[in-house]
């Protein structure tokens, strides 16, 4: 009987992609996926270290898994991802039920770790994905594709440059091959991923350096691929050719995630973001000029050390000025080993809570208004799967709104036109257009 692998994924989309690829590696070793930890022979937690809460989740999950291991000592438990990279040895010390820890750049060595245990947090020079068998066949019409990993930006609050290592772009020919294979499996939408995806500069098939814009243009030419997205970007890497691509590539969806973190120049400087608030606003103007219907999304941190009420007010003003289609907001979490940790005056927790609530009020008001503005419009929807109600299907608008409507099951994987009738708390509903 085949052995079974259970993977639980935390954190960003890059971890989601990595988890799929780890299934590929272990499939070659005779492991089938399962979604029940109780029946697994191997359990992998693919973890996130970005905020303290994210990292703590791992230890509580391991505590819950411990009885499984006690009942079946041959069960293997491994910790992968960014917590493994940051605290590999410590995890094995703190939780003896764990057999091994593996950092994000060492997944091609999973089989050896499963067999022998230990900690592998090396940063090898070669592309790990080259030595990982392809992910198992996909059924969903949407897929992630990691094109770039790591980060050289060293924002003062962030662990990513330490957990993922230096910025590395995968060669374009390999990515085009993967994109073609995805299209053949029925994938219609690909989201290109990277911690700094718009800094992509991979080796082209012709030997030259390819930018993200070039890569997007080439993938857009692949038959079957109807939609492209990319995430996440740094404002300083929004080059002219990438902005132009938003105006020229019909398949590039009019939705851009462009984190800004703060609206205060003093805080931006302390964060080492290397741009001012005005630079960001001017950039948004240029992007909107290229693609007027683009919706913006962002990331914000409130309560960075030393953030004053006046500085926070500038963040609110920036959010108001942009009018985000959606955004993610976080309370600053001090991360060991980062430059901001332990420097400057910590903002008290209740103040962070209060600022977060005020920022969220602005963001959710704009998000709601944007979603409601879809009512009465006819939108192209990529149908993903059956909805909860009988005969209902659910898909995504170009702006990533979930859209529910009645339609035949065969529409899954197609782009259909839907007349939007209503805007609910988290999704739109409508009618399939004739």
Nearest to 259 by CA among 243, 292, 237, 291: 237
Beta carbons within 8 Å of 389's beta carbon, 6+ residues apart: 404
Question: Helices in 9-168 by DSSP H: which ranges?
Answer: 13-27, 52-71, 81-94, 110-116, 160-163
Query: Which tokens sit at 38?
Result: 């109780």
Binding mask 209-248 for ligand SF4 (x = CB under 6 A): -------------------------x--------------
Considering only residues 178 to 197 of the shown chain, the ones binding ligand F3S according to CB under 6 A are 195
384 is in an annotated binding site: no
Residue 158, marked binder:
yes
Q: According to DSSP H, which parts of 81-171 are helical? A: 81-94, 110-116, 160-163
Q: By CB under 6 A, is residue 157 in contact with ligand SAH?
A: yes
Applying the rule CB under 6 A, the residues between 135 and 174 that interact with ligand F3S are 159-160, 163-164
Say whether 331 counts as a known binding-site residue. no
Say which residues have a Cβ less than 8 Å from residue 371's Cβ, sequence separation at least 6: 401, 423, 428
Q: Of these partners, ligand SAH, ligand F3S, ligand SF4, none, which one is at the site of residue 51 (CB under 5 to 8 Å by kind)?
A: ligand SAH
CB 332 within 8 A of CB 157: yes
Classify residue 358 by its DSSP letter: H
Of 10-18, 185-193, 291-299, 340-348, which part binds ligand F3S (CB under 6 A)? 10-18
310 annotated as a binding-site residue = no
Binding partner of residue 161 among ligand SAH, ligand SF4, ligand F3S, none, CB under 5 to 8 Å per kind?
ligand SF4
Q: Return the one option of ligand SAH, ligand SF4, ligand F3S, none that residue 15 interacts with (CB less than 5 to 8 A, by type).
A: ligand F3S
- For 170-185, give one letter per residue: b (16+ CB within 10 A) or e: bbbebbbebbeebbee
Handedness of CA 362, 255, 278, 312 (dihedral sign): positive
Pick from 81, 141, 259, 263 the residue near ligand SAH by CB under 6 A. 259
CA atoms within 13 A on the CB side of 224: 14
Q: Does 335 bind ligand SAH (CB under 6 A)?
A: yes
Closest residue to ligand F3S, based on beta-carbon distance: 11
Rounded-to-integer distance, Cα 104 and Cα 254, Å: 31
Token look-up 């080796």 returns 203
Region from 69-77, 88-96, 106-114, 146-154 binding ligand SF4, contact rule CB under 6 A = 146-154
The correct pick among 5, 7, 14, 242 for binding ligand F3S (CB under 6 A) is 14
Interface residues with ligand F3S (CB under 6 A)?
A: 11-12, 14-15, 48-50, 81-82, 159-160, 163-164, 195
């Amino acid at each position: 009987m085949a052995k079974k692998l259970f993977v639980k994924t935390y954190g960003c989309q890059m971890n989601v992609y990595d988890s799929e690829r780890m299934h590929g590696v272990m499939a070659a070793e005779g492991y089938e996926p399962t979604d029940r930890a109780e029946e697994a022979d191997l359990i992998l937690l693919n973890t996130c270290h970005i905020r303290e809460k994210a990292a703590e989740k791992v230890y509580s999950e391991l505590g819950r898994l411990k009885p499984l291991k006690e009942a079946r000592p041959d069960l293997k438990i491994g910790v992968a991802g960014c917590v493994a990279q940051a605290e590999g040895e410590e995890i094995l010390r703190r939780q003896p039920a764990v057999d091994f820890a593996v950092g994000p750049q060492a997944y091609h060595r999973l089989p050896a770790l499963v067999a022998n245990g230990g900690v592998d947090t090396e940063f090898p020079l070669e592309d790990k994905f080259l030595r990982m068998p392809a992910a198992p066949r996909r059924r969903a019409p949407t897929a992630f594709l990691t094109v770039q990993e790591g980060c050289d930006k060293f924002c003062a609050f962030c662990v990513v440059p330490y957990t993922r290592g230096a910025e590395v772009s995968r060669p374009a020919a390999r990515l085009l091959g993967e994109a073609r294979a995805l299209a053949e499996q029925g994938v219609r939408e690909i989201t290109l991923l990277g911690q700094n995806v718009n800094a992509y500069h991979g080796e082209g098939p012709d030997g030259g350096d390819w930018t993200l814009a070039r890569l997007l243009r080439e993938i857009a030419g692949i038959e079957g691929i109807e939609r492209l997205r990319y995430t996440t970007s740094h404002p300083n890497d929004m080059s002219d050719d990438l902005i132009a691509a938003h105006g020229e590539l019909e398949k590039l969806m009019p939705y851009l995630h462009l984190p800004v973190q703060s609206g205060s120049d003093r805080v931006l400087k302390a964060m080492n973001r290397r741009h001012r608030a005005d630079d960001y606003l001017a950039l948004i103007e240029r992007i909107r000029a290229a693609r007027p219907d683009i919706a913006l999304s962002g990331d914000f941190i409130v309560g960075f050390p030393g953030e004053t009420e006046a500085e926070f007010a500038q963040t609110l003003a920036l959010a108001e000025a942009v009018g985000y289609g959606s955004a993610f907001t976080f309370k600053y979490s001090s991360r060991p080993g980062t430059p901001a940790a332990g420097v400057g005056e910590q903002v008290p927790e209740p103040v962070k809570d209060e600022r977060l609530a005020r920022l969220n009020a602005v963001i959710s008001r704009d998000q709601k208004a944007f979603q409601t503005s879809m009512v009465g419009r006819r939108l192209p929807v990529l149908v993903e799967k059956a909805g909860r109600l009988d005969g209902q299907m659910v898909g995504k608008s170009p702006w990533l709104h979930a859209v529910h409507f009645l339609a035949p099951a065969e529409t899954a994987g197609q782009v259909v036109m839907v007349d939007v009738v209503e805007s609910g708390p988290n999704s739109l509903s409508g009618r399939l257009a004739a």
